[in-house]
Copies of this chain bind each other. A is one copy, B any other.
Amino acid sequence: MTPIDLKLGTIVCEAGAPLEHAYFPEGCVLSLLTVLENGSEIECANIGREGAFGLFSAMYSRVSFNRCTVQHVGPMSRCEIEPLQVEFHKSAQMQDLFVSYSETLMSQIMQTVACNSLHSVEERLCRWLLMMHDRAEGEKLTYTHEFLARIMGANRSSVTQAAQSLKNKSIISYRRGLMQVSDRGKLETTSCECYAIVKARFDAFLQTPSTVVQKAKSRRTENH
């Protein structure tokens, strides 16, 4: 594991580019984006200290189908994929962790499919701010409306309107390139359901890995 320090907005891996490492955020937040032919991009999931980027992509195809960027600066390590792969094949615990993380990450992405299709820009902005508020741990969120619009797949002026609406309700405050949550409770009630659902699944994932591994072990011994 080598520490790696990347700036805000850095492209960790471009869509379609080769990938030789897996990245483990330890305080930073990565963003997984789908890039379309016309150049627009849209966020599908983000990855904080609970997860990793490159586990799936790097393992066999050695290519990332999606762009991955740094969305919040913080400590992060990376590791070459070969040794990880060797460990993966040796360790039942890693296999179990891998499967349950796959499941959780996939459920986040599937929730995003529904959210982006069916919820309003204001609701989605709340959800996004909550996710980042959790992961940035009170630090300031240095994002422009332009940036938010890009990753939410929305129009910049729609984002400005949503932000104004939240500011008028005293839920957030912001100025040029900076947003701050002032009323976390109200932010949660104004957000769509998607935040709470995904949060609960990640909490469950984080609480249970050892249990999962235990259960898996005992199940294996029963079966032999």
Contacts and interface: CB of A to CB of B under 8 A. Distances in A.
What does DSSP make chain A's interface, helix, strand, loop or mixed? helix
Given A102-B56, A114-B153, A219-B85, A107 B65 contact: yes
A67 to B, nearest CB: 10
Nearest to A34: B114
Nearest to A204: B61
Interface in A88-107: 88-89, 92, 95-96, 98-100, 102-103, 105-107
A44 interface: yes
B109 A113 contact: yes
A143 B95 CA distance: 40
Contacts of A37: 193
A44 B89 contact: no
B153 A117 contact: yes
A99 B60 contact: yes
Nearest to A66: B110
A14 B95 CA distance: 26
Interface of A: 32, 34, 36-37, 40, 42, 44-45, 56-57, 59-61, 65-66, 82-83, 85-86, 88-89, 92, 95-96, 98-100, 102-103, 105-107, 109-114, 116-118, 153, 193, 201, 204, 212, 215-216, 219-220, 223
Given A57-B103, A109-B113, 7 more contacts: A44-B110, A60-B212, A61-B100, A66-B107, A102-B102, A112-B113, A113-B116
